[in-house]
Structure 1
Amino acid sequence: MSITTAAAAARLKRPSWKDPRLLVGILLALASLTGVIAVVGSADRTIQVYAAREPIAVGQRVSKDVLDVVKVRLDDVESSYVTVAEGLPEGQVAVQRIAKNQLVPQESLGAADSLDRKPVAIPIQESLPAQAVAGSRVDVWVSLPDARNGFGTPQLLLPGAEIAHVTEGASSLGGSKEKVVLALVTDDQMPKLLGAQANKAKVAVVWNPGGAGK
């Protein structure tokens, strides 16, 4: 047999299991398959968690009626959110505002008696700035009646109070509608605000872009 014929026969010969080239090919194929399985498995590591169907105000009872179930991948922060597997605690209220479509953080729920701020209705006759919406911060100023049937110098009563909700109130005599701002007030601030309202003080709300008060 010529050298050329022998070489051609060697090329056409079925590879042996002991052929290192075949073993390397098998190992590469297995490694590729393992990588694909790992990527697919990692991409499918989603869990079911609760999200707010509509904005949830501080103090509002949180039940499944106001929540949706969504599938997301949270990885290391999974423990920070309320999952369907763990279940929704009974009788909980929102201790911080939860925006529409926001995932429900564990720290946003608590018992009603654990609230350090409570919503108080503040009727406002003047127009509110467009930025004064739920979740924003405002300064609440009051002017107490004086002995001359007027009002004294405005005083800053609630610096950086968070708005829980804004609703339309009743129509005033001039035909314009007043607004009712639900402001979150601490127990220490409550007597001053309620006292000012009882004394028919004028109340003004000013948007505070700096956030929380000092």
Structure 2
Amino acid sequence: MSAPPVADTGLGRGTGDGPAGPVARRVRPPRWLDLRLGLGVLLVLGSVLVGARVVSAADATVPVWSAAGDLAAGTVLEGDDLVAVSVRLDDVAPAYLATSTRPEGRVLSRAVRAGELLPRSVLEEPTGLVQLALPVQAGFAPPGLARGQAVDVYAVADPALGAAGPTGGDVELVVGAATVQAVSGRGDGVLTTSASTVQVVVAVPADEAAGVLGAIGGRGLVVVVREPVDGAGTTD
């Protein structure tokens, strides 16, 4: 008895009983997907590089000294006169004083304004200057008198004592264009009177100190604030 016929599924592998079936092939994505993938990687890398440059540029600041207030030429710097600020200066950074340098005791060769960055070129060594303390009646010193201002100091005759200057005048300039280094003894309470004494410390050349004291001769003093810092010359 013969075997029943078997249906041909077409899956034969060439066993000799019939023709070989089709071979499965791997499906490959279109080549344009490779191009898009490459462009995407390049865009991501480009974004990372640009972001790194932006962050680096934002951090390219240096800490330098800035004036805490208006300071006249001749001011002997103290720590409270300056504040540290971080700014981007690029190629001009060496022209300004970094916070790694302590400028206390140096003298300003010109006036600087509040908030102005401190150039190295305006600093001088304190050669030949002394600080002279002058007693001034509170009523003869401006209420806003402060450190860093440029002042003139006049000696005035006291009619009650009959004091007069060496030249016999009633008013005499004894200190001109001096810089106030400190003001002390001024009260702000209700008990403050015009008879209260204010100590005004100014910087004068050492060889002129004796002449200033001699010119005062026991007379009363009047302090006059000169032109504000904004009006002072700014030439180095």
Which category describes the TM-score, using the shorter chain as reference length?
0.5 to 0.7
2:219 maps to amino acid: A
Residue correspondence of structure 1 range 106-145 to structure 2 within 5 A: 106=120, 111=125, 114-127=126-139, 128-143=141-156
1:200 corresponds to which of 214, 218, 223? 218
| 1:161 alignment partner in structure 2 | 178
What is the aligned length? 186
- 1:81 aligns with 97
Cα 1:102–1:178 shift into 2, 3 Å? farther
Q: Does 1:40 align with 2:58?
A: no
Amino acid in structure 1 at the alignment position of 2:173: L
Deviation of 1:176 (Å): 4.1
Where do 5+ consecutive residues of structure 1 fail to align? 1-11
Query: How far is 1:58 from its partner?
Result: 4.6
Offset of 1:203 from its aligned partner?
1.5
TM-score for the superposition, normalised by structure 2: 0.57
Distance 1:210 1:104 in 2: 18
Shift of 1:123: 0.5
Q: Deviations over 1:2-39 (max 9, x none)?
A: xxxxxxxxxx746444x3x5544443333222111011
TM-score, structure 1 as length reference:
0.61
Match of 1:184 among 193, 200, 203: 203
Query: Between Structure 1 and Structure 2, whose CA radius of gyration is higher?
Result: 2
Cα pair 1:131 1:207 within 8 Å, conserved = no
Which residue does 2:22 correspond to in 1? none
Q: Could you tell me whether the CA contact under 8 Å between 2:130 and 2:203 is conserved in 1? A: yes
User: Closer, same or farther in 2 for the Cα pair 1:52/1:41, shift >3 Å?
Assistant: same
Structure 2 Cα separation of the partners of residues 68 and 124 of structure 1: 28
Q: Residues 110-140 of structure 1: CA distance to partner in whole angstroms, max 9, x if unpaired? A: 65xx435432111001422123111112211
122 and 157 in structure 1: CA distance in 2 versus 1, 3 angstrom threshold: same
The structure richer in strand per residue is 1
Among all aligned residue pairs of Structure 1 and Structure 2, give the percentage whose two residues are the same amino acid: 25
Gaps of 5+ in 2: 1-28, 188-192
**Superimposed CA distance per residue, residues 163-210 of structure 1 (whole angstroms, 9 cap, x where no aligned partner):** 11100079xxx894200001122346434312124x213221112235
Preserved CA contact (<8 Å) 1:123 1:181:
yes
- The alpha-carbon distance between structure 1 residues 46 and 145, as it changes in their structure 2 partners (threshold 3 A), is same
1:36 partner letter: G
CA RMSD of aligned residues (A): 4.5
